């Protein structure tokens, strides 16, 4: 994607009528539904029933807190930080490591 950014910047410089150059910045958007589904599946795999995930609205709270890619490894690695950030949820996530 870096070559696209470079090409775009060169094109903007050549065709720009304003004295300033516009820099294109890539923004990655996280799919909240995918994050919630991965988090819920991680909870279920750890032995936390779906009923408790729904009752305490854990997935929605995690999605609101989480700022990262919708990947299993990234979400799994952020569980410890989530427990520290949300101590009210930590007792319900004891089985989740």
Q: Where are the alpha helices (DSSP H) in the chain?
A: 2-15, 32-45, 50-55, 58-65, 72-77, 79-85
Decide if pLDDT at 18 tops 70.
no
pLDDT tens string 55-92: 999 999 999 999 989 999 999 999 999 999 999 988 88
Model pTM score? 0.68
Q: How far apart are CA 34 and CA 48, in angstroms?
A: 19
Decide if pLDDT at 97 tops 80.
no
């Amino acid at each position: 994607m870096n070559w696209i950014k470079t090409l775009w910047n060169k094109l903007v410089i050549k065709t720009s009528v304003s004295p300033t150059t516009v820099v294109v910045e890539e923004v990655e958007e996280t799919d909240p539904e995918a994050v919630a589904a991965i988090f819920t599946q991680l909870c279920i795999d750890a032995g936390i029933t779906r009923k408790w995930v729904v009752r305490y609205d854990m997935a929605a709270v995690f999605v609101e807190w989480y700022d990262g890619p919708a990947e299993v490894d990234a979400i799994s690695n952020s569980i410890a930080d989530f427990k520290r950030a949300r101590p009210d949820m930590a007792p319900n996530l004891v089985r989740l490591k």
